[in-house]
């Protein structure tokens, strides 16, 4: 052993797992969708002409007056399988016997299913978190840490272009 410190450093580095990369919601948009979002006119909260102020039909509602990018399922395939961290707002779907939510959608802004148009599918993440979390306030953001997968999911509530296998979920702390 000529350089014992080198072997020690190598052994220590193998035992240390790199921290997941923190991503923003805009990182989930492919370049063409990112540009289309930048060029999009302001979207109001007043609802549709047929139902003023009524966005209570959930994440699946569709307003034909909105640009096509609002319904995009295009993804950033390079993110598939990466260990990441992202913050967002939960929309509860399934709970366990203890009342903790084990499956939920994560969306970039609070109130995404009421009074505002829903985000596009490539801005909705289906989260699986077997440990479960208590969701007492839909307006409280959470951090998610785990593996992001490109996976088109559709259910009665919404379409999502990503799925997240969460290892850790905690209340957003600003960092």
Domain CATH number, residue 151: 2.40.50.870
Asked if residue 47 is part of any domain, the answer here is: yes
Residue with tokens 């307006």: 139
Asked if residue 10 is part of any domain, the answer here is: no
41-75 tens-digit pLDDT? 776 555 445 544 444 455 666 677 778 899 999 99
Measured distance CA(134)–CA(117) in Å, rounded: 26
Q: What does the radius of gyration of the chain's CA atoms come to, in whole angstroms? A: 19
Asked if residue 12 is part of any domain, the answer here is: no
Asked if residue 1 is part of any domain, the answer here is: no
126-152 tens-digit pLDDT? 999 999 999 999 899 999 999 999 999
Q: How far is CA 133 from CA 30, 125, 129, in A?
A: 30, 16, 8
Write down the pLDDT at residue 118.
Answer: 81
State how many domains the chain has.
Answer: 1
Asked if residue 15 is part of any domain, the answer here is: no
Asked if residue 5 is part of any domain, the answer here is: no
9 phi and psi angles, rounded to 5 deg: -60, -45
Write down the pLDDT at residue 55.
Answer: 42
Domain that holds residue 85: 20-171
70-128 tens-digit pLDDT? 999 999 999 999 999 999 999 999 999 999 999 999 999 987 655 567 899 999 999 99
């Amino acid at each position: 052993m000529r350089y014992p410190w080198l072997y020690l450093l190598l052994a220590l580095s193998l035992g240390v797992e790199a921290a997941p990369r923190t991503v923003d919601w805009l990182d989930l948009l492919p370049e063409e969708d990112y540009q289309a979002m930048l060029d999009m006119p302001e979207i109001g909260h007043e609802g549709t002409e047929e139902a003023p102020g009524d966005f209570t039909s959930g994440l699946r509602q569709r307003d034909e007056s909105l640009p096509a990018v609002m319904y995009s399922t295009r993804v950033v395939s390079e993110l598939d399988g990466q260990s990441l961290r992202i913050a967002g707002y939960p929309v509860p779907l399934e709970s366990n016997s203890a009342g903790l939510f084990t499956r939920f959608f994560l969306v970039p802004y609070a109130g995404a299913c009421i009074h505002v148009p829903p985000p596009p599918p490539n801005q909705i993440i289906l989260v699986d978190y077997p440990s479960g979390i208590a969701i007492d306030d839909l307006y409280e953001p959470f951090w998610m840490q785990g593996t992001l997968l490109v996976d088109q999911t559709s259910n009665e509530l919404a379409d999502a272009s990503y799925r997240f296998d969460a290892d850790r979920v905690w209340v957003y702390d600003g960092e």
